[in-house]
């Protein structure tokens, strides 16, 4: 939850320097639009792990096939089969970690199907996402090579629902054993003598649902069983970091059931929570009511992070388990024609979506001490994606509003999050977060209101700013988006910000995400 205080408390704890005394009257218009924020530079929360900006790619719709992977012989410009624009845009953004191959797909995926000569790989049916024939041309080697190309750390989701401990342990050996075993030799023969050094391993996905419809006790038994063999698969200096299937949203019953079934030294390293912010409208047809209902769900996610963290901490050594928001983002009502043309769960990203991304990323900064990793769903073409293509055959590739929201938060990576206090903690008011290192303070502000332009005064405690620059992502129309015809309708723009004797002042128009980078004196 955001650390907030009432207007009265704010006035009492703030040095009595009013906005009016700092700027000529009238500069910021209606004072009822003014918002005050206190940033406590010495009150450190924790590291903004770059992994908070992680991504997820599933064999679903046109995320992998046609999105990331077009094949080496495609007329679409590509680098060894990877869509060139996807590679270029993701490199520019930087993808700290990429989770694959699902999602629901993971618990029906058998890794052996995706190695060896592509022409000889078996054809399977993707039962979760439309019953199409999966030719397995994108497998482990193709995924790892993509990660290397964009600079992402690979995160493999293993099959618990329909797989076995032996199958998953062999996948670990195939990936990580340096040389000499038959599996390592097979990897070398398939083109990769060097081990892949995969550290992150998901032990099932949504095991309460598409990953086997288990009860938490049954899943805990399975996790321990898989864990015995996976933990021992500590090859070539890469210790597997095992991620357990955690709750849907804030489901405490699931989390307690799983944790009660753990034993000392058998606990997971990570605990995967899924938190989608569902919306009742199609992406470009939101109303103020449906938008507000969806954006308000981000506050519920923040509460879930706080409560699930506390739940884990209640167990012996529970505080060493990394809480992972493994799938998150806005999940709108799909448009059947778009799904037909462009693939399952293809979803436009609008200014509303970008505001949602900003709210989520602010939460991760504010709860930096409680989180290990967060992966938005999904990287290309599916749900709240960073990039969209016009179908698997389409030549267009555009950066979505969500891509630009992530760009705005990039300067926070590897900085230390510090406490920020806002006057109003309601889910649909100003959202703020800040981080710093020795030289710079980074402040991100989100105005989720569609009907109110704000004027923001940030008072910085325990630090002095010398100069600042800001960038903004904004459109007054919550349904506005980047399209194949107008790919640059909503992009980052420079935005005025004033350094004052006490901090910063800036305008925050309705529906905007802003990041300020300020030099520390």
Q: Which is nearer to ligand AHR, 58 or 429 (CB)?
A: 58
Q: Minimum CB separation from ligand AHR for residue 274, in Å?
A: 6
Which stretch, 24-32, 102-110, 354-362, 513-521, contacts ligand AHR (CB under 6 A)? 102-110
Q: What are phi and psi of 373, to 5 degrees?
A: -160, 150
- Determine which one of 153, 302, 327, 423 is catalytic: 327
CB of 378 to ligand AHR, least distance (A): 6
DSSP 453: -
Stretch that binds ligand AHR, among 100-108, 168-176, 219-227, 505-513 (CB under 6 A): 100-108
Of the residues 134, 142, 327, 390, which one makes contact with ligand AHR according to CB under 6 A: 327
Considering the rule CB under 6 A, would residue 461 count as an interface residue with ligand AHR? Answer: no
In eight-state DSSP terms, residue 102 is -
Instruction: Decide if 85 is catalytic.
Output: no
Size of the site for ligand AHR (CB under 6 A): 10
Single out the residue of 51, 58, 269, 461 in contact with ligand AHR (rule: CB under 6 A).
Answer: 58
- Write the DSSP assignment of 480-512 as a string of letters: -B--SSSTTSS--EEE--EE-SSEEEEEE-SSE
200-203 and 82-83 beta bridge pairing: unpaired
Name the one residue in this structure whose structure tokens are 């910085």.
460
Least distance from ligand AHR to the Cβ atom of residue 382, Å = 7
Cβ-contact 400, 81 below 8 angstroms: no
- Nearest-approach distance from CB 275 to ligand AHR, in angstroms: 11
Q: Can you tell me the distance from the alpha carbon of 32 to that of 24, in angstroms, rounded to the nearest whole number?
A: 16
Please say which residue, 76 or 383, places its beta carbon nearer to ligand AHR: 383
Based on the residue annotation, tell me whether 338 is a catalytic residue of this protein. Answer: no
Here the tokens at position 518 are 């300020």
Compute the distance between CA of residue 64 and CA of residue 69 in angstroms, rounded to an integer.
6
| N- to C-terminal Cα separation, the chain | 31
User: Given its phi and psi angles, is residue 41 left (phi above 0), alpha (psi -120 to 50 degrees) or beta?
Assistant: alpha
Q: What residues are paired with 516 via a beta bridge?
A: 443, 470
The DSSP code sequence of 418-448 is: EEEEES---TTS-EEEEEE-SSEEEEEEEE-
Candidates 99-107, 358-366, 434-442, 445-453 — which segment interacts with ligand AHR by CB under 6 A?
Answer: 99-107
> Segment near ligand AHR (CB under 6 A), from 31-39, 96-104, 141-149, 415-423?
96-104
- The binder of ligand AHR chosen from 85, 142, 206, 302 (CB under 6 A): 206
CB closest to ligand AHR, residue no: 103
Task: Select from 64, 104, 460, 514 the one that contacts ligand AHR (CB under 6 A).
Answer: 104
Interface positions with ligand AHR (CB under 6 A): 58, 102-104, 205-206, 327, 377-378, 383
């Amino acid at each position: 939850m955001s650390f907030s205080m009432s207007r009265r408390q704010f006035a009492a704890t703030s040095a009595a320097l009013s906005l009016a005394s700092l700027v000529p009257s009238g500069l910021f218009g209606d004072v009822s639009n003014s918002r005050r924020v206190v940033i406590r530079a010495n009150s450190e929360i924790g590291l903004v792990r770059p992994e908070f900006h992680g991504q997820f790619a599933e064999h679903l719709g046109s995320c992998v096939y046609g999105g990331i992977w077009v094949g080496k012989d495609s007329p679409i410009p590509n680098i060894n089969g990877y869509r060139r624009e996807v590679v270029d845009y993701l490199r520019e953004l930087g993808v700290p970690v990429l989770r694959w191959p699902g999602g629901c797909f993971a618990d029906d995926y058998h890794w052996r199907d995706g190695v060896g000569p592509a022409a000889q790989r078996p054809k399977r049916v993707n039962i979760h996402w439309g019953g199409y024939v999966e030719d397995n041309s994108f497998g482990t080697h193709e995924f790892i090579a993509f990660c290397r190309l964009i600079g992402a750390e690979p995160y493999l989701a293993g099959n618990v629902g329909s797989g076995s401990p032996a199958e998953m342990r062999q996948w670990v050996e195939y990936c990580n054993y340096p040389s000499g075993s038959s599996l390592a030799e097979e990897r070398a023969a398939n083109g990769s003598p060097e081990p892949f050094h995969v550290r992150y391993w998901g032990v099932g996905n949504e095991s309460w649902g598409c990953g086997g419809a288990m009860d938490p006790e049954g899943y805990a038994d399975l996790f321990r069983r898989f864990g015995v063999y996976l933990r021992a698969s500590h090859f070539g200096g890469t210790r597997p970091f095992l991620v357990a299937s955690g709750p849907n949203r804030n489901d405490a019953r699931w989390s307690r059931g799983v944790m009660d079934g753990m034993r000392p030294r058998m606990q997971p390293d990570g605990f995967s929570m899924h938190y989608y912010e569902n919306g009742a409208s199609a992406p470009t047809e939101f109303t103020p009511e449906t938008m507000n209902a969806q954006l308000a769900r981000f506050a519920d996610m923040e509460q879930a992070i706080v409560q699930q963290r506390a739940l884990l901490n209640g167990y012996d050594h529970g505080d060493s388990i990394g809480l992972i928001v493994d799938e998150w983002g806005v999940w709108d009502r799909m448009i059947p024609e778009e799904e037909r043309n462009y693939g399952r769960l293809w979803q436009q990203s609008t200014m509303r979506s970008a505001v949602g991304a900003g709210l989520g990323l602010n939460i991760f900064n504010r709860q930096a001490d409680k989180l290990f990793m967060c992966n938005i769903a999904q990287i290309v073409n599916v749900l709240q994606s960073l990039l969209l293509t016009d179908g698997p055959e389409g030549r267009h590739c555009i950066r979505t509003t969500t891509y630009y929201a992530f760009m705005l938060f990039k300067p926070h990576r590897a900085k230390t999050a510090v406490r920020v206090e806002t006057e109003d903690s309601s889910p649909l008011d100003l959202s703020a977060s800040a981080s710093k290192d020795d030289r710079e303070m980074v402040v991100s502000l989100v105005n989720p209101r569609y009907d109110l332009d704000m004027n923001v005064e940030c008072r910085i405690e325990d630090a002095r700013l010398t100069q600042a620059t800001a960038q903004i992502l904004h459109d007054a129309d919550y349904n506005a988006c980047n399209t194949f015809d107008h790919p640059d309708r909503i992009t980052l723009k420079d935005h005025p910000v004033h350094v004052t004797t006490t901090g910063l002042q800036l305008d925050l128009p309705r529906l905007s995400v802003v990041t300020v980078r300020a030099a520390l004196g």
